[in-house]
Amino acid sequence: MTISTLAVVGSGTMGHGIGQLAAMQGIAVRVFDVDDAAFGRAKDSVKGSLDRFVRKGTVSQDESEDIVNRIVWTTDLGVALDGADAVIEAVPEVLELKQKVFTDLDARTDPNVLLATNTSQLSITSIASAAKNPERVTGMHFFNPPVVMKLVEVIRGTLTTEDMLNRTVDLAHQLGKETIVCQRDTPGFITTRAIMALRLECIRIFEEGIATMEDLDKAMRLAFNHPMGQFELNDYNGLDIALQGSRNLREAYGERFAPPPSLVARVAAGQLGRKTGSGWYDYSDSK
Ligand code: 3HC
């Protein structure tokens, strides 16, 4: 089933990135948020990203304007959901918040509409439990920045039907992405569990005084060809997200995922990464 109209709930980093991605594939997009103050930053970011594509010549100026015009920004959930063939939710990673959103989405859309949640770590089954039709809820884990990263991790909730899982994979392909499927709804799925093991080990090596974070990042870039080291990447995605992930994974898998003290301390101090001007590194001088 080809999606022609997509509703995205949440206009933060992932929400507006997913909206841009869909609009770039010719899909009509409605991005919902509770407060239109968030739209300013989201629109600037979409514009900045499209300008990069225009400068590279992969998108023309006219196409860029069409893409922008394909996105409707609204604080009215009814407007966002009207005629949508699929909904992708991308609100903050708080279970109770996502559950509340899914109670609303389920009540306000036809049961045939696909409902996907963008989460890196929360249980799809728990989120879906807030819906009367939990079988249509799936996980769609995008990577930041969604317009650049090539993968979507699709997660099967305990009650997700085969049809909805297949439609989720098809939607990711329609968005131009490769997919992997996490067949069992387990904490951290595939990718968050794997990357957190690496990140926490890098932080421990730093805490043990064995290497500086600069050298650990250099090692990841030059020894393994990772585009960013784990400290740089954590600053890019947010230390608060990593701390929450570490705690969730510790609960599921034990002490090997326990949060290192230096991560806990930085989050307590409000040093959450690029978004707050400092995290592992200091960004106060950069734009
Ligand atoms: N919009 C459009 N194009 C963009 C872009 C954006 N927002 N960001 C980067 N690009 C393009 C650049 O134009 C460039 O294209 P080119 O190679 O064709 O010229 C390419 O991406 C690389 O960009 P740069 O050379 O300018 O280098 P950057 O430092 O800007 O690259 C990066 C940024 C693409 C983010 C790269 O550093 C990278 O891949 N980092 C790793 C990102 C990653 O691991 N993301 C996953 C994080 S985990 C996650 O998201 C899960 C979540 O649940 C927490």
17-63 residue pLDDT tens: 999 999 999 999 999 999 999 999 999 999 999 999 999 999 999 99
Cα 227 to averaged position of ligand 1 atoms, centre (Å)? 8
For 158-183, how does the pLDDT look when each residue is reduced to its tens digit (9 = 90+)? 999 999 999 999 999 999 999 999 99
Q: Are 23 and 53 in contact (CB under 8 A)?
A: no
**Interacting residues of 268 by C-beta distance below 8 A, sequence separation 6+:** none
Whole-angstrom Cα distance, residue 20 to residue 39?
A: 13
Pocket lining: 277 vs ligand 1, CB cutoff 6 Å: no
Q: With 70 as the cut, is the pLDDT of residue 287 above it?
A: no
Task: Give the alpha-carbon dihedral of 242, 88, 167, 25, to 10 degrees.
Answer: -100
pLDDT value of residue 95: 94
CA nearest ligand 1 atom 19, residue: 56
Could you give the C-alpha distances from 108 to 26, 82, 117, 253, in angstroms and in order? 25, 9, 16, 37
pLDDT of residue 175: 98
Atom 23 in ligand 1: residue holding the nearest Cα: 148
Q: Which atom of ligand 1 is nearest to the CA of 241?
A: 54
Q: Which atom of ligand 1 is nearest to the CA of 55?
A: 13
Percentage of the chain beyond pLDDT 70 is 100
pLDDT of 31 reads: 98
Handedness of CA 28, 94, 35, 277 (dihedral sign): negative
Check if 52 has its Cβ closer than 6 Å to any atom of ligand 1: yes
Residue nearest to atom 38 of ligand 1 (CA): 227
Whether ligand 1 lies within 6 angstroms of the CB of 56 is answered as yes
| 86 within 8 A of 3, measured Cβ to Cβ | yes
pLDDT of 90 strictly over 90: yes
For residue 112, the CA-to-ligand 1 centroid distance in Å is 35
